[in-house]
Structure 1
Amino acid sequence: MTYVQSPSLPIGLALLEEQLARDLEYLELPGKPWVPERSSGGQPVRDVVVIGAGMCGLAATAKLVLTGITNIVAYDAAPAGLEGPWETFARMQTLRSPKTLHGPALGLPQLTFRAWFTAQWGTKAWDALDKIPKGQWMDYLVWYRRVLNLPIVNGVRMTAIKRSGDLIQIDIEGAETGPVLTRRLVLATGRSGLGGFAVPDFLQGIDRTYWAHSADEIDFDALRGKRVAVIGAGASSMDNAATALEAGAKSVDLLIRRKQMPRINKMTGIGSQGVVHGMHQVPDGWKWKFVDYTSATQTPPPRSSTLRVSRHANARFLLDCGIRAVRQDSDGLLIETTQGPLRYDFLVAATGFLNDFNGRPEFSAIAPFIRTWADGRYTPDMGPQRPSMADAPDLGPSFEFRERVAGTCPMLANIYCFNDAAMLTHGKVSGDIPAVSAGADRLVRGIAASLFAEDVETHFANLVAFDTPELMGDEWVDATPLLRKENA
């Protein structure tokens, strides 16, 4: 008698990992290493260094390894298990994305979150799951890294980028120190992209004991019994407001400049493989139009996140409440708004991130030379010039930076912007879950092609030098002498 396991029963991670290993074997993955080794001055040279081991960094590193580009390393400043936002400044309870999205799985079914989840808890639990808890998503990414045995070093921060002949030198500190030479550099630096926090002018000069950015490490327990204000109506605004309320804040006000809350998630409505693969191919005017429209209409916070705030009686949504000025005094913060003066003990600025990389010391050697959309790609007929868009880097077809003035910083062609700042040029394929696999594929195809072209003489020499015969010479008899004799 043959027994068939019920699909509702978990198979266990060990069996899933066996299935994944078999799939990789069938697909001949990882590909055999093919990039010639290099050294410079006796120092080994990496083929690629990836900065960041969050979701995008993992996807990029995994795709490089699977493509046979194996002399690589990814560095992340965070301890293992704390890469990316999921266990730090992401304060939502669940992901916004549908649970069915394959995320960084790179087209491998056994590498999806769904496979990982059902292997442990079964299909009944999967069917009952609504949204993915953010902590569980981090657990999945930790497994993803382990099962693919990705070359990642934690506790390492990049402090500088320099040119070293035709190579890139990065300086690092932490668990590893000193200069590292590499042929290609991928900046998988997440939401902060290249510029860090966006801080409104009215907070300049205000003591940091009175306010924090939503991506800061915030001691919410210290807000117990405090009057708290949160700027904005986006997802991070709701998540931070809810966290403060749940920590026992006396009151939390959401200061919302708009007269109405955004209610429709426009990009979700048109999500498709056409958008994923077509957005970076359309004319620049259309790219600008899509991003400008979604910026103007704004993305609403998730319904669950909003209800998480509004269920508290001591929470207020203050619409049409723009901020004119902020002052600090002995009683905390006095905020002048379009609805009048308001008093708070602490403020959270959920004001997003910048594309202006001029303020980041680690990018100081390349920032002045990076071409942005304001450097000619944007034209007034596209629509209003939003600074957040105009400052976006004007990237090449594989996420590579481009020079503002040709010839001034050639190494930019070998540095790749695989983070949120690439959205205007490439669409949402390097920051969010839905299309990160497509983004990683686009990135690595470009890196692989450029490395091959750079080493083309070596590859041709290897072609000429290859001398392993398939035929040994004893498989046939040359009948030409007999034919000649017969014809004589």
Structure 2
Amino acid sequence: MSDLGAFPNGLEALEDRLRQDLAWLELPAKAWVPPRVVDGRPVVDVVIIGGGMAGLVASGMLKRMGVANHVVLDKAPAGREGPWVTFARMRTLRSPKQLTGPAMGLPALTFRAYFEARYGREAWIALDRAPRETWMEYLVWYRRVLELPVQNGISVDAILPRDDGMLDLICRQGGREETMTTRHIVLATGRDGLGGPFVPPIANGIDRKFWAHTADEIDFSALTGKRVGVIGAGASAMDNAATALEAGVAQLDMFVRRKELPRINKFTGIGSQGVVHGFAGLPDEWKWRFLNYAMGQQTPPPRPSVQRVSSFPQAHLHLGSPIIGLEQEGDHVVVRTPKGRYAVDFIVFGTGFKIDLNGRPELAAVAPYIRLWRDRFPTPAGMSNGELEASPDLGEAFEFLETEPGACPALAKIHCFNFPATLSHGKLTGDIPAISEGADRLARGIVRSLFVSDREKHFENLEAFDTPELLGDEWEEDKTGVLPELSSERT
């Protein structure tokens, strides 16, 4: 087997192979959706909000299925979409390097193919996990080679249902407002896509200058020589603690409610194609049972992330230490736990994210009509779970459902392709392992909806199609009409 090697044309050779693979598979499919115009402007068939990994693979799937008239909008500058080079502070991805992720079943589109083309086979063998900056470079390459229609620097201020069943997006770019009309919207907006960072109410009593969430921009250089407290011990909390230590903080205290760190990643341990394709078919009570148990066990931080923190002598781990008080005293904050009081100059909350539809201004016009799991399913006794209760109840193509049928039909055209879809569909929308399978399910549902909606036009096209298969000269009719006589004599 040839090695593309680490030479200048490695990517060029890989891209040639990818083009050949796509050509052999006759991909992307030809465009087939009839164009529409409203209010004097063309309608976009699908708008994807979010140009991170989920948005890119959703775009790739729609393109391969012939939905050419779609666009991806992202508020970030090109190359800074998603968390990878913004608030993600781990050194490497947490997923194993060999996962195919957004490759859509195409070997030449995998991260491994990209990495080997740039750095060679030996470098791949030596690699433990993908550096997050290299993963971002891979996604930039992915977008380029598939020629995906991403537009950067555009935020979506509002999603407004129309009387004709379509949707208006009020977009903003560089202070200029524009209205875009579309038939479907995909919310590929990540972990906090239907809410935002969760910070416990106890933080309300201290000045904002004293704290940040792990999803915030943090100037770690300003913390050099300071005392820093980190609340939580998940992966993001560990990564932020390590970044602070590497910036030269004088002391770091990590406060953990649990009496010991979780050690087993339960859901990953049962990962299989059965889970990927079967979870959505589970009865409601089993969906709830699976996720409530996994969330209760919590996901342990990666071992390298913990070792990255524990290697510093000024790092201190406080187990069994829930925060029972925060008191601002002059130029610092005192953290109170059942085990004592600790003075810190700055606090980082590694407390995860929340689902809060009312906290997303772009969804204000539709949020009151969105059906949640608490509307669908009575919480089982002993399994109360605020995040699951607030999760949206989604249809087969990740579309929102109405709390009251007929109250907001446009919800069927808004697809929740982000983390809160997990209870309805399983882990297909936010993590690397099954993102292609999720995008395939999403795109097939949108294609079905578009075709059904345009059935009259497609039938007109059927009637109007007049390209002959036969030209009439293939076989001339025998016009004699006479059958040859059969002899009555026996031989």
Per the shorter chain, which TM-score range?
A: over 0.9
The DSSP-based 3-state class of the residue aligned with 2:42 is strand
The DSSP-based 3-state class of the residue aligned with 2:427 is coil
CA distance, structure 2, for counterparts of residue 452 and residue 79 of structure 1: 34
Task: Indicate which of 29, 50, 53 corresponds to 2:51.
Answer: 53
CA distance, structure 2, for counterparts of residue 71 and residue 6 of structure 1: 38
Aligned partner of 1:398 in structure 2 is 397
The DSSP-based 3-state class of the residue aligned with 2:355 is coil
Aligned partner of 1:192 in structure 2 is 192
Question: 1:102-181 residue pairs with structure 2 within 5 A?
Answer: 102-165=100-163, 166-175=165-174, 177-181=177-181
Aligned partner of 1:369 in structure 2 is 369
Aligned partner of 2:276 in structure 1 is 276
**TM-score calculated relative to the size of structure 2:** 0.96
CA distance, structure 2, for counterparts of residue 170 and residue 9 of structure 1: 44
Q: Which moved more, 1:182-191 or 1:454-463?
A: 454-463
Letter in 2 for 1:193: G
Residues 214-239 of structure 1 deviation map (CA, whole Å, 9 limit, x = unaligned):
00000000111111111111000100
CA distance, structure 2, for counterparts of residue 172 and residue 435 of structure 1: 31
Letter in 1 for 2:211: W
Aligned partner of 1:101 in structure 2 is 99
CA distance, structure 2, for counterparts of residue 416 and residue 205 of structure 1: 38
CA distance, structure 1, for counterparts of residue 6 and residue 429 of structure 2: 35
Q: How many residue pairs align between the two structures?
A: 482
Aligned partner of 1:248 in structure 2 is 248
CA distance, structure 1, for counterparts of residue 120 and residue 97 of structure 2: 15
CA distance, structure 1, for counterparts of residue 3 and residue 28 of structure 2: 32
Aligned partner of 1:329 in structure 2 is 329
Q: Return the offset for 1:354.
A: 1.1
Aligned partner of 1:309 in structure 2 is 309
CA distance, structure 2, for counterparts of residue 435 and residue 7 of structure 1: 27
Q: Return the offset for 1:161.
A: 0.7
Question: Is 1:75 the equivalent of 2:73?
Answer: yes
CA distance, structure 1, for counterparts of residue 405 and residue 475 of structure 2: 60
Q: Return the offset for 1:41.
A: 1.6
The DSSP-based 3-state class of the residue aligned with 2:94 is coil
Aligned partner of 2:38 in structure 1 is 40
Alpha carbons 2:231, 2:351 under 8 Å: kept: yes
CA distance, structure 2, for counterparts of residue 29 and residue 131 of structure 1: 31
Question: Is 1:429 the equivalent of 2:424?
Answer: no
Residues 253-284 of structure 1 deviation map (CA, whole Å, 9 limit, x = unaligned):
11100001100111121111111111111111
Alpha carbons 1:193, 1:354 under 8 Å: kept: no
The DSSP-based 3-state class of the residue aligned with 2:239 is helix
CA distance, structure 2, for counterparts of residue 101 and residue 148 of structure 1: 20
Letter in 1 for 2:154: V
CA distance, structure 2, for counterparts of residue 9 and residue 174 of structure 1: 39
**TM-score calculated relative to the size of structure 1:** 0.96
CA distance, structure 2, for counterparts of residue 55 and residue 7 of structure 1: 25
CA distance, structure 1, for counterparts of residue 339 and residue 53 of structure 2: 41
CA shift in 2, pair 1:8/1:148, >3 Å = closer
Q: Return the offset for 1:339.
A: 1.4
CA distance, structure 2, for counterparts of residue 72 and residue 331 of structure 1: 52
Residues 28-84 of structure 1 deviation map (CA, whole Å, 9 limit, x = unaligned):
100000100001121110000000000000000111111100111000000000000
CA distance, structure 1, for counterparts of residue 338 and residue 363 of structure 2: 38
Aligned partner of 1:471 in structure 2 is 470
Alpha carbons 2:4, 2:10 under 8 Å: kept: no
Gaps of 5+ in 1: none
Moved over 4 A (4+): 4-11, 484-487
Q: Return the offset for 1:7.
A: 6.9
CA shift in 2, pair 1:6/1:50, >3 Å = closer
Q: Return the offset for 1:379.
A: 3.6
The DSSP-based 3-state class of the residue aligned with 1:184 is strand
Q: Return the offset for 1:380.
A: 2.2
CA distance, structure 2, for counterparts of residue 9 and residue 225 of structure 1: 42
Q: Return the offset for 1:205.
A: 4.1
Question: Is 1:451 the equivalent of 2:450?
Answer: yes
Alpha carbons 1:62, 1:150 under 8 Å: kept: yes
Q: Return the offset for 1:476.
A: 1.4
The DSSP-based 3-state class of the residue aligned with 1:323 is coil
CA distance, structure 2, for counterparts of residue 364 and residue 177 of structure 1: 18
Letter in 2 for 1:357: L
Residues 306-343 of structure 1 deviation map (CA, whole Å, 9 limit, x = unaligned):
00000000001100000112122313112221212221
Letter in 2 for 1:343: A
CA shift in 2, pair 1:219/1:466, >3 Å = same
Q: Return the offset for 1:395.
A: 0.6
CA distance, structure 2, for counterparts of residue 414 and residue 484 of structure 1: 65
Letter in 1 for 2:331: D
CA distance, structure 1, for counterparts of residue 119 and residue 456 of structure 2: 53
CA distance, structure 2, for counterparts of residue 80 and residue 426 of structure 1: 30
Q: Return the offset for 1:486.
A: 8.4
Q: Which moved more, 1:261-270 or 1:84-93?
A: 261-270
CA distance, structure 1, for counterparts of residue 264 and residue 126 of structure 2: 26
Letter in 2 for 1:52: G
Gaps of 5+ in 2: 486-491
The DSSP-based 3-state class of the residue aligned with 1:430 is coil
The DSSP-based 3-state class of the residue aligned with 1:17 is helix
Q: Return the offset for 1:397.
A: 1.1
Q: Which moved more, 1:34-43 or 1:333-342?
A: 333-342
CA distance, structure 1, for counterparts of residue 166 and residue 289 of structure 2: 37
The DSSP-based 3-state class of the residue aligned with 1:442 is helix
Q: Return the offset for 1:6.
A: 5.3
Aligned partner of 1:221 in structure 2 is 221
The DSSP-based 3-state class of the residue aligned with 2:480 is helix
The DSSP-based 3-state class of the residue aligned with 2:182 is strand
What percentage of aligned pairs have identical amino acids? 55
Residues 188-218 of structure 1 deviation map (CA, whole Å, 9 limit, x = unaligned):
0011121011110101242211000100000
Alpha carbons 1:224, 1:249 under 8 Å: kept: yes
Alpha carbons 2:220, 2:247 under 8 Å: kept: yes
Residues 79-116 of structure 1 deviation map (CA, whole Å, 9 limit, x = unaligned):
00000000011000001101100000000000000001
Q: Which moved more, 1:352-361 or 1:392-401?
A: 352-361
CA shift in 2, pair 1:328/1:164, >3 Å = same
Letter in 1 for 2:73: Y
The DSSP-based 3-state class of the residue aligned with 1:380 is coil
CA distance, structure 2, for counterparts of residue 380 and residue 262 of structure 1: 25
Alpha carbons 2:170, 2:178 under 8 Å: kept: yes
The DSSP-based 3-state class of the residue aligned with 2:46 is strand
Alpha carbons 2:4, 2:117 under 8 Å: kept: no
Q: Return the offset for 1:431.
A: 0.2
CA distance, structure 1, for counterparts of residue 3 and residue 48 of structure 2: 42
